């Protein structure tokens, strides 16, 4: 009986030693499998986050590009509106042309449109007035704005009125004068003597100032007057500086 008991105890101990490695190995495998599952789960979460961030970045990038494009479109729309507003302020002839230069003037209608549009096109030109009578005489008048200082220290604008008259015999008369209050203004960029001399010797005026001059010729005279007044004003600015 004692021998049987010892034998059973020995078998039990042997079984423990034999089975222990198997149990440990199973536990290790289970642990490894569990760790692997956790790693896979964590990896999946990381990949999901990466994909989410990538998609978010793509979305934000597209949104940014869209916003930039929208800004560009807005700028273009603004430019179009400015240009449209500028065009709306110009008058057009019966053909829908906004006449702004003498090369576009072919008729008295074009001349009237041209006279109105010049003051819109040229910032310092206040007014252009062109008249003709039945005798073939004509008068081209340009009102121009000159800078000066009232009482010597207050910035103001002084207007000059410059006229080129064409007589029936083809002769011309040139005159220019400032606004009545100009005596209160100092340093204005205007010289009467210099301007009238320029006008009398201007080749364009001489060539087009004729009796019964065409509408195109009158427009060319107006452009010549503006050119000379601007040159006179710019030279006086240099002198005053």
d(CA 98, CA 111): 11
Question: How high is the pLDDT of residue 215?
Answer: 96
Q: Residue 126 phi/psi, 5° resolution?
A: -85, -35
d(CA 17, CA 15): 5
Q: Please check whether residue 96 lies inside any domain of the structure.
A: no
Q: Within 13 Å, how many C-alpha atoms sit on residue 84's CB side?
A: 6
**Full-model pTM:** 0.64
CA distances from 124 to 8, 105, 144, 150, 216 (A): 124, 22, 6, 18, 23
Q: Please check whether residue 97 lies inside any domain of the structure.
A: no
Same domain, 63 and 129: no
Same domain, 141 and 40: no
Question: How high is the pLDDT of residue 88?
Answer: 53
Same domain, 162 and 118: yes
d(CA 130, CA 88): 23
55, 89, 123 - which closes a domain? 89
Nearest to 223 by CA among 109, 97, 92, 103: 103
Q: Total domain count for the chain?
A: 2
User: Which residues, 6 or more positions from 18, have their beta carbon under 8 angstroms from its beta carbon?
Assistant: none
d(CA 141, CA 143): 7
Pull the structure tokens for residue 121. Answer: 């096109």
For 139, the 3-state DSSP assignment is strand
Same domain, 166 and 133: yes
d(CA 133, CA 118): 22
89, 112, 128 - which closes a domain? 89
Domain that holds residue 203: 102-240
Nearest to 125 by CA among 209, 233, 201: 233
Q: How far is CA 211 from the centre of its chain?
A: 45
Q: Please check whether residue 95 lies inside any domain of the structure.
A: no
Nearest to 116 by CA among 95, 90, 142, 146: 90
Q: Please check whether residue 227 lies inside any domain of the structure.
A: yes
Same domain, 159 and 112: yes
**Series of mean pLDDT values for 10-residue runs along the chain (241 residues):** 43 43 42 44 44 44 42 45 54 94 96 95 95 91 94 91 92 93 88 95 94 94 97 84 64
d(CA 137, CA 67): 62
Same domain, 112 and 75: no
89, 116, 151 - which closes a domain? 89
Same domain, 126 and 64: no
d(CA 156, CA 160): 13
Question: How high is the pLDDT of residue 241?
Answer: 64
Same domain, 70 and 145: no
């Amino acid at each position: 009986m004692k021998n049987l008991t010892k034998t059973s105890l020995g078998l039990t101990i042997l079984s423990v030693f034999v089975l222990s490695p198997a149990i440990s190995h199973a536990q290790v495998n289970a642990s490894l499998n569990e760790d692997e599952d956790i790693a896979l789960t964590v990896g999946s979460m990381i990949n999901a986050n990466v994909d989410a961030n990538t998609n978010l970045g793509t979305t934000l990038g597209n949104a940014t590009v869209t916003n930039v494009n929208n800004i560009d479109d807005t700028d273009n729309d603004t430019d179009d509106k400015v240009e449209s507003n500028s065009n709306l302020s110009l008058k057009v002839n019966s053909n829908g042309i906004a006449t702004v230069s003498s090369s576009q003037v072919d008729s008295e209608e074009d001349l009237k449109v041209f006279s109105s549009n010049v003051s819109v096109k040229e910032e310092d030109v206040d007014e252009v007035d062109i008249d003709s009578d039945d005798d073939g005489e004509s008068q081209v008048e340009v009102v121009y704005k000159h800078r000066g200082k009232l009482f010597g220290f207050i910035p103001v604008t002084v207007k000059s009125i410059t006229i080129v008259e064409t007589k029936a015999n083809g002769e011309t008369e040139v005159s220019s004068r400032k606004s009545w209050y100009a005596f209160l203004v100092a340093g204005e960029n205007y010289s009467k003597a210099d301007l009238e001399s320029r006008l009398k010797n201007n080749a364009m005026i001489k060539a087009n100032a004729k009796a019964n001059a065409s509408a195109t010729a009158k427009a060319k005279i107006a452009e010549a007057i503006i050119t000379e007044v601007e040159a006179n004003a710019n030279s006086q600015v240099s002198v005053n500086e």
